[in-house]
Amino acid sequence: MRTRKIGAFEVTEIGLGCMSLSHAYGAPPSRAVAESLLLAAIDEGVTHFDTAALYGFGRNEQLVGEVLQPYRKRIMLASKCGMTGVDGKRVIDGRPATLKATCEASLKNLRTDVIDLYYLHRWDRTVPIEESVGALADLVAAGKIRTIGLSEVSAQTLRKAHAVHPIAAVQTEYSLWTRNPEYAVLGACEELGVSLVAFSPVGRGFLAGGVTDTSLLMEGDIRRGMPRFQAPQFEKNLGLLPGLAEMAKEVGATMGQLALAWVLSRSACIVPIPGTTSVAHLRENVAVSGVVLTQAQLERLGRIISPVNVAGARYPAATNVEIDTEDAPPEV
């Protein structure tokens, strides 16, 4: 694979989002399947692994830590704080003392002395962003984390945070059907020298053709509560896939590879982290480096699936109020 920069780190242009191995999409895979997937990523040369304290309420960090400890010096390890499980419930808490305590638990779970990239998973609106980032800066000074990231924040919040301590990366959803970063935060990242780490670059499996019947989604799968996966929006969105499938056949790639190639093309500062529980899909994702598209093909992709023809919001209303990312172009 080709490589891209996140701060001082050079990482493979396709990383691995580890969430689905423990969290969010119904019953997680067995330990054996999860371990095989992580080791296959190592074998494929992946060097960027992303987890969080929230995922499985610590279990994902423990899994990643146990399996990847022998390869620790070969990888860039990223995790997140500020949104964790408390008494079985998801809680957003950006207070400095909480962030520092979460970091200590993460270091133990990950079996490491230092976390390479540590994100504020959500901005806690009851705590000034400067205070939360100040706590993370203390962790940098203490040698517990190497660089600071933010997740799902606006350009304005990024600038406030960056004034306190350099921000290495902003993690946010970005794909053919989710273009919110283009409103402001992608431009701010390019201006400030910040990487944009794109999660769900294949639309939570939809853009790869992996979700065609929502009745088959397991109980506990977060997609069941997302407007794009609910009637009547889902049926409208299904109507977009034949055009994507036709183009994939024309260029000799998979639908998922087209989606990834499009995201990679948007800016040199973007590093996608698709997640999967399938070794075959993992290998398909990392092979995107061999997919070459012309500018005309990329523009066609952007028309086949775009905010103009996608139906439904990316999050339900209750979740959307927690997100700081711009959901409309900023006023000029």
Active-site residues, by number, are 55
Q: Residue 207 in contact with residue 280, Cβ under 8 Å?
A: no
Backbone angles phi, psi at 74, to 5 degrees: -95, -10
Question: Tokens for 286?
Answer: 């990392």
Residue with the two structure tokens 């979740």: 319
Written as six digits, the tokens of 107 are: 């270091």
Q: Closest by alpha carbon to 181, among 312, 272, 286?
A: 272
Helix runs in 47-184, H state only: 59-68, 96-110, 129-141, 155-164
Radius of gyration of the chain (CA): 19
Positive/negative CA dihedral, 80, 96, 8, 262:
positive
In the chain, beta strands by DSSP E = 3-6, 9-12, 16-17, 48-50, 76-81, 83-86, 89-92, 115-120, 145-151, 167-173, 195-199, 270-272
- Residue 308's φ and ψ, nearest 5 degrees, are -70, -35
Backbone angles phi, psi at 44, to 5 degrees: -80, -5
- For residues 153 and 161, the answer to whether their CB atoms sit within 8 Å is yes
